[in-house]
Structure 1
Amino acid sequence: MEYDKSSIHRLKRIEGQIKGVLGMMEQGKDCREVVTQLSATRNAIDRAMGVIVSANLEKCVRENVVKGEGTDHLVKEAVNLLIKSR
């Protein structure tokens, strides 16, 4: 699968967030601040996974429609993938 530039950019921002959290830890910042930033990072990762799965699902559904094949299994697979990631 080819990933679009916005998904890659999203992950680079998350990488920056992680580096920021590491910096906070090295500076001895308060636990609440570190956990707040880790929570924000986790939410960003969850959103990135959703964007990636939805883009892939859309592509697969289009391909199956063109082929005249069903799409129900694709939706179930995408939902299961997101559920397992939690």
Structure 2
Amino acid sequence: MEYSQDMKNRMKRIEGQVRGIVKMMEEEKDCKSIITQMSAIRSAVDRATAYVVAKNLEVCLRDDTETEAEREEMIEEAIQMLVKSR
């Protein structure tokens, strides 16, 4: 699957947030601030995961070479990936 520049930018922002948390820890910032930022990262990763799964599923479902059974299996697999990510 080809990943869009938007998706890569999302991941770079998450990477920057993680570096920011490490800096906050080195500066001994308060726990509440660090946990707030960690929660924001979790949310961003969850959204990115859902985006990747949805785009991949969309591409697979648009492919006319798949049988109905294969499509159903792909949908179930996508659902399981989303459930596992939580």
Gaps of 5+ in 2: none
Equivalent position of 2:3 in the other structure: 3
Q: What's 2:22 paired with?
A: 22
The answer for the alignment partner of 2:39 in structure 1 is: 39
Stretches of structure 1 lacking an aligned partner (at least 5 in a row) = none
Alpha carbons of structure 1 residues 42 and 73: separation in structure 2 relative to 1, 3 Å:
same
Root mean square deviation of aligned Cα = 0.9
Letter in 1 for 2:15: E
Aligned pair count reads 84
User: Match for 2:67 among 63, 66, 69?
Assistant: 69
Determine the C-alpha separation between the residues in 2 that align with 1:84 and 1:68: 25
Q: What percentage of aligned pairs have identical amino acids?
A: 45
TM-score with structure 1 length normalisation? 0.93
In the superposition, the TM-score normalised over structure 2's length comes to: 0.93
Match of 1:38, as an amino acid? M
